[in-house]
Structure 1
Amino acid sequence: MWKAQGGQGLERRVDQAFALARYLVEEMKKREGFELVMEPEFVNVCFWFLPPSLRGEQKSLDYSERLAKVAPVLKERMVKEGSMMIGYQPHGTRGNFFRMIVANPALTQADMRFLLDELERLGQDL
C-alpha cells in the first residue's frame, strides 16, 4: 500500500481514519443510548448501545447481564436486514460491546451517522 499511495497518501488515509473515529465518538456523545467502553485507541471505537429499556437502569442487579445480550440481538438484526455488520465481543468482566474499527478509506461522516441511526432503529424495541 505504501508503494501505491506513497508516504503522503498513506498519511492522509491514517489522518482520515483518526478524524472519522473522533467524529463517531463526538456523535455518540450527543445521543442518548450510547456509552463508550473506553476512550478510543487508534481507530477502534468500543461502545455499548443502551436500548430504551436499559436507560437509567445502571443500578439494577441484572443490568450487566441484560446489557450483554443487546449486541448479539442487534448483530443478528443487522445481518438479517443486510444493513451493516459490526463486530462485538466481551472483555474481561465487561459484557458484549460493539467494536467499530474505522479503517476503510471509503467511509464518511454520513456512514457514521447511518451506523448510529441504524442501531437506534434496530434497538428501539429492546
Structure 2
Amino acid sequence: FENQINKCLELADYLYAKIKNREEFEMVFDGEPEHTNVCFWYIPQSLRGVPDSPERREKLHRVAPKIKALMMESGTTMVGYQPQGDKANFFRMVISNPAATQSDIDFLIEEIERLGQDL
C-alpha cells in the first residue's frame, strides 16, 4: 500500500513540475502541492498577460467548466474543478490511481491545452 501512495505522490509532483513554469498554467496556491492534490488554472491565450481585474477573474471563472464540458463531450478524460473563496474556478487534480503513468499526466496536460486553446 505504501508503494501505491508513493506512486500517486510522485505523479502529483510530476504534474506540478510540468506546469508550474508554463505560461498557459498558473498554480492556485504558492509552493508545491500537498498530498496528491494539484490545483491550477489553465490560462487561455486571450487572458495571458492581462492584468488581474474583476473582468479577468470572471472570464477565468468560466474556463475550467467549459474545458470540463468539452472533456465530457469528447470522453477523453475528466478533472474536477471548483472555486474557493474569491478564487475563480480552478482545476483540482486528485491523483488517486497508482496505475496512472507520467504519459497519462502528459496526455491530461495536452488535452487541457487542446480543448482550451480557443477560449
Which category describes the TM-score, using the shorter chain as reference length? over 0.9
Q: What residue is the counterpart of 1:104 in the other structure?
A: 97
| Matching residue of 2:13 | 22
TM-score by length of 2: 0.93
Q: Does the residue aligned with 2:78 lie in a helix, a strand or coil?
A: coil
The answer to whether structure 1 residue 49 and structure 2 residue 51 are counterparts is: no
Q: Secondary structure at the match of 1:48?
A: strand
Q: Is 1:120 equivalent to 2:113 in the alignment?
A: yes
Which residue type is aligned with residue 17 of structure 2?
E
Q: Give a deviation string over 1:61-105, Cα, whole Å, max 9, x none.
A: 411111000001001000000011100010011110000001101
Look at both structures and tell me which one has the larger radius of gyration over its CA atoms: 1
Aligned-residue offset at 1:29: 2.1
% same residue? 51
Query: TM-score, normalization: structure 1?
Result: 0.88
The match for 1:37 is 28
Q: How many residues align?
A: 117
Distance 1:113 1:36, change over 3 A: same
How big is the alpha-carbon RMSD for the aligned residues of Structure 1 and Structure 2?
1.1
SS at match of 1:77: helix
Which amino acid is the alignment partner of residue 92 of structure 1? G
**Structure 2: distance between partners of 1:19 and 1:111:** 13
Q: Which runs of 4+ in 1 moved over 6 A?
A: none
CA distance in 1, matches of 2:74, 2:6: 32
Residue segments in structure 2 that go unaligned for 5+ positions in a row: none
Partner Cα separation in structure 2 for residue 106 and residue 115 of structure 1: 15
